[in-house]
């Protein structure tokens, strides 16, 4: 009997989950290899990010939205973002003192918004769609991580980029969109929560 959960979008989400330890491991164990030590994990992260776009697009276009997909897709997204943050914190010591605060903000936002969405969904049965700021946050995080991955390579090619300015700009944009999207969701969802129950 065919497993109804394993349609193409859900398979792509599972592939994304599998790519998380892959890009974490390559970043960790290839960090002493010039250029390739950043390009390989960056490529794996880019593929994982592309599956994030592809699975949602296919699910909506072909009517393949399932309860399992609603569960695994956002979970895979969290794994991808948290995995990138943890791997970069361990391997990229130059930006780690700033990245640790960015990571804390991103993780707290993701957990808080996910909790709010679960409460609203549990109360009304409504799945809260991603807002404009939520989508902007996702794009800024993906682009931001890709820039942080490649920044050391650019710094070795262009002396004026050796101070990791691209990484700091990327982290600033990621933080701003994360905070704004968190506030946007809180404003939208809070009226649906009964604090007396």
3-state helix vs strand vs coil in the chain, percent to 5: 80, 0, 20
Examine the fold and report which residue of 91, 113, 145 is the final residue of a domain before the chain moves on: 91
Considering the domain architecture, whether residues 78 and 104 belong to the same structural domain is answered as no
Do 80 and 31 have their domain in common?
yes
CA 84 to CA 148: how far, in whole Å?
10
pLDDT tens-digit readout, 117-154: 777 666 655 556 567 788 899 999 999 999 999 999 99
pLDDT under 50: residue ranges of the chain: 1
Asked if 40 and 60 sit in the same domain, the reply is yes
Separation of alpha carbons 58 and 197, rounded Å: 39
- ∠ CA 177-139-64, nearest 5°, is 125
Do 103 and 84 sit in the same domain of this protein?
no
Contact between 20 and 48 (Cβ < 8 Å): yes
> How high is the pLDDT of residue 5?
60
> Tell me: the pLDDT tens digits for 57-71?
787 787 777 777 777
CB-CB neighbours of 50 under 10 Å: 13
The domain boundary residue, chosen from 74, 91, 108 = 91
Note down the domain range covering 100.
94-197
Which of 50, 76, 91 terminates a domain? The answer is: 91
Token pair 């933080």 in the structure block, residue: 175
């Amino acid at each position: 009997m065919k497993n109804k959960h394993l349609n193409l979008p859900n398979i792509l989400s599972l592939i994304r989950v599998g790519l998380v330890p892959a890009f974490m491991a390559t970043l960790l164990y290839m960090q002493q290899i010039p250029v390739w030590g950043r390009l390989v994990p960056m490529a794996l992260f880019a593929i994982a990010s592309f599956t994030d776009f592809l699975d949602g697009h296919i699910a909506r276009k072909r009517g393949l939205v399932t309860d399992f997909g609603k569960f695994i897709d956002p979970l895979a997204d969290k794994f991808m973002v948290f995995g990138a943050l943890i791997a970069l914190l361990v391997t990229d010591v130059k930006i780690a003192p700033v990245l640790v605060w960015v990571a804390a903000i991103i993780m707290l936002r993701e957990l808080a918004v996910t909790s709010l969405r679960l409460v609203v969904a549990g109360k009304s049965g409504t799945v809260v769609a991603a807002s404009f700021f939520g989508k902007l946050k996702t794009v800024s995080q993906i682009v931001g991580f890709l820039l942080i991955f490649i920044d050391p390579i650019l710094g070795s090619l262009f002396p004026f980029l050796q101070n990791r300015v691209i990484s700091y700009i990327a982290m600033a944009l990621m933080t701003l969109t994360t905070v704004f999207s968190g506030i946007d969701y809180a404003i939208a969802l809070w009226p649906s929560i009964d604090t007396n129950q």
